[in-house]
């Protein structure tokens, strides 16, 4: 009833931040909000694995001999998880190694938007969440969009260059797992009545499908950038 | 004598302070129009922009259950009044391990 698979993906992203610092002697505390997006949609983790499919069928009839049978099959799983954007709120604390050099760490919460894509698209459902991109002949459809939240932390160094600062930051986010549940579009009761080959016929169908996807993710980032203090900037622009 | 010297010193210090306050203009702002303040610019608001490399790991575990129950009254092959019930249950477990 289970299987494994693996893959990897790296990409490039742009990060913009705003924040506020308080300096106490050699220490700094502050709050920062990061926003990033995967501009080129190139951070797409493909998850390959196997699946197990079990089925059973029972036929009851007042005319033919009742019977039953079961099936067991294995197959391949092929999903992609594409990260689109992230917003993080971080509290940070730093220490001035020199008056112009700061090392700091941060801790906070992040929320990210993902597209979950079923590359097989074997299930028809009420939304695009289960419809794949048709890579293997499946029905084309929109990916399943969901958000994941998680704890994030950073470790970084920042250097003042006289009016602007440069920094190198390592950031990790461990997203909490989330269940994405899809219900089949034909769930419910349907009935058909008519004449078929001169015989009155009534067909009643009860159908139910539930597709639960347990999704989790984590990211590691290494960012390099520049910081512009707003006080300095405003003062410089002041006539 | 010591008291006298001490009093003179205090008066002298006070005079010096008064003279300084009167003669020296107010302290220049930490950040001036023509230049940057190297250290105290850490205090306050800021904006930043960065480009980075990102590596993403992901897990997925999919569980699909499907039930299909169909009752046919009057199957053309079996004749009018024939009742056939077809019950199917399908269970699919899909598991994808964290991609590294």
What is the tens place of the pLDDT at every residue in B28-73?
444 444 444 444 678 889 999 998 888 888 777 777 777 888 888 8
Cβ separation A199–B65 shorter than 8 A: no
Is B64 in Cβ contact with A28 (below 8 Å)?
no
Q: What is the pLDDT of residue A78?
A: 77
From B70, B79, B99, residue closest to A7, measured CB to CB: B99
Closest B-chain CA to A182? B64
Task: Tell me what percent of the residues of chain A surpass a pLDDT of 70.
Answer: 81
Write down the pTM of the prediction: 0.69
pLDDT at A74 over 70: yes
Could you tell me how many CB contacts below 8 A there are between chain A and chain B?
A: 321
- Dihedral sign for Cα A185, A191, A193, A198, please: positive
Query: Of A148, A217, A180, A167, whose CA–CA distance to B54 is shortest?
Result: A217
Helix (H, G, I), strand (E, B) or coil at A128: helix
Strand spans (E) along chain A: 10-24, 27-37, 44-61, 67-98, 101-118, 144-160, 165-175, 178-183, 188-196, 199-229
pLDDT score for A144: 78
Tokens of A165: 């600062």
Q: What is the pLDDT of residue B29?
A: 41
A208: closest CA of chain B, how far (Å): 5
Quick check: A19 and B64 CB within 8 A?
A: no
Compute the mean pLDDT over every residue in chain A, rounded to the nearest whole number. 79
For the cut 50, the answer to whether the pLDDT of residue A79 exceeds it is yes
- What are the structure tokens assigned to A1, written together? 């009833």
Task: Tell me how far CA of residue A172 lies from CA of A69, A127, B45, in angstroms.
Answer: 50, 32, 24
Nearest to A81 among B49, B58, B84 (CB): B58
Strands B83-96 vs B44-73: parallel, antiparallel or unpaired:
antiparallel
| ipTM metric | 0.73
Confidence class for position B27, pLDDT limits 50, 70, 90: very low
């Amino acid at each position: 009833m289970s299987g494994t698979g693996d893959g990897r993906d790296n990409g490039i992203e742009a990060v913009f931040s705003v924040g506020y610092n308080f300096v106490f002697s050699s220490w700094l505390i502050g709050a920062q909000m990061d926003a990033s997006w995967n501009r080129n949609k190139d951070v797409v983790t493909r998850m390959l694995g196997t699946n197990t499919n079990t089925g059973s069928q029972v036929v009851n009839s007042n005319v033919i001999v009742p019977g039953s049978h079961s099936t067991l099959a294995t197959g391949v799983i092929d999903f992609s998880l594409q990260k689109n954007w992230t917003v993080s709120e971080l509290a940070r604390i730093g220490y001035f190694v020199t008056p112009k050099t700061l090392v700091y760490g941060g801790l906070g919460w992040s929320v990210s938007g993902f597209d979950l894509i079923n590359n097989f698209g074997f299930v028809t459902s009420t939304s695009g969440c289960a419809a794949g991109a048709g890579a293997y002949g499946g029905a084309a459809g929109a990916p399943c969009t969901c958000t994941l939240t998680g704890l994030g932390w950073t470790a970084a160094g920042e250097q003042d260059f006289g009016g602007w600062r440069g920094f190198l930051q390592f950031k990790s986010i461990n997203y909490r797992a989330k269940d994405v549940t899809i219900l089949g579009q034909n769930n419910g009761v349907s009935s058909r009545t008519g004449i078929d080959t001169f015989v009155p016929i009534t067909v009643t169908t009860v159908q139910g499908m539930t597709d639960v996807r347990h999704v989790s993710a984590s990211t590691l980032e290494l960012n390099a950038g520049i910081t512009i203090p707003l006080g300095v900037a405003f003062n410089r622009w002041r006539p | 004598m010591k008291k006298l010297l001490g009093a003179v010193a205090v008066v002298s210090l006070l005079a010096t302070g008064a003279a300084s306050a009167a003669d020296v203009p107010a302290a220049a702002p930490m950040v001036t129009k023509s230049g940057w303040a190297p250290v105290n610019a850490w205090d306050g608001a800021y904006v930043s922009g960065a480009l980075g490399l990102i590596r993403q790991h992901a897990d997925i575990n999919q569980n699909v259950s499907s039930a299909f129950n169909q009752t046919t009254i009057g199957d053309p092959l079996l004749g009018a009044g024939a009742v056939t019930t077809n019950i199917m249950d399908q269970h699919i477990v899909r598991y994808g391990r964290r991609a590294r």
